[in-house]
Structure 1
Amino acid sequence: MAKPIGKDVLGAVKKKTGKTITEKDINKLASGVKPSTMQSEAELKQLIKKVGAMAGVPVSDSLMKEIVSAVKKSGMNPNSMEQLMKMMLK
């Protein structure tokens, strides 16, 4: 069973974008994430684009590179969409 997404993250998305995203939306997206996703730059970029589109946050090429680099360096848990969303909202 997936770990519940923090209400603070969902609230931050709504506050920043004006768009309501449900935990169900995030879990649906997260269900396609595998450990290899965090290691493959192409798969990671696709995931970032999907998260950005869902949240209504434009992701520039420079921001994309920055997020990919940060995720690879951090060894982020592939099951934690919450971490990725927090990183994108900074």
Structure 2
Amino acid sequence: MILRFEEWLVGQQDREDLIGDLARVLSIQNADLKSSRIKLDEHKSWVDIVIRIAEPGYIPVFNDAWQEFLLAKQTAKDTLV
């Protein structure tokens, strides 16, 4: 199973930092987090969501969250091998 950003972000809601704040903001705003059946660029989709819903100050927070997600995704992939 491939880790998706939405799943990872939901798991960050209890964090007491800006990434936790971002996770809660996107959850509260009830963003259209369900991806379409068409395989899109996941990063681009989330950039669009963050820009549309969150305050501009969350853009660098999203960038940090995305980097943490990529590390978690790689770790999950490595444990399957």
TM-score in terms of structure 1 length: 0.33
TM-score in terms of structure 2 length: 0.36
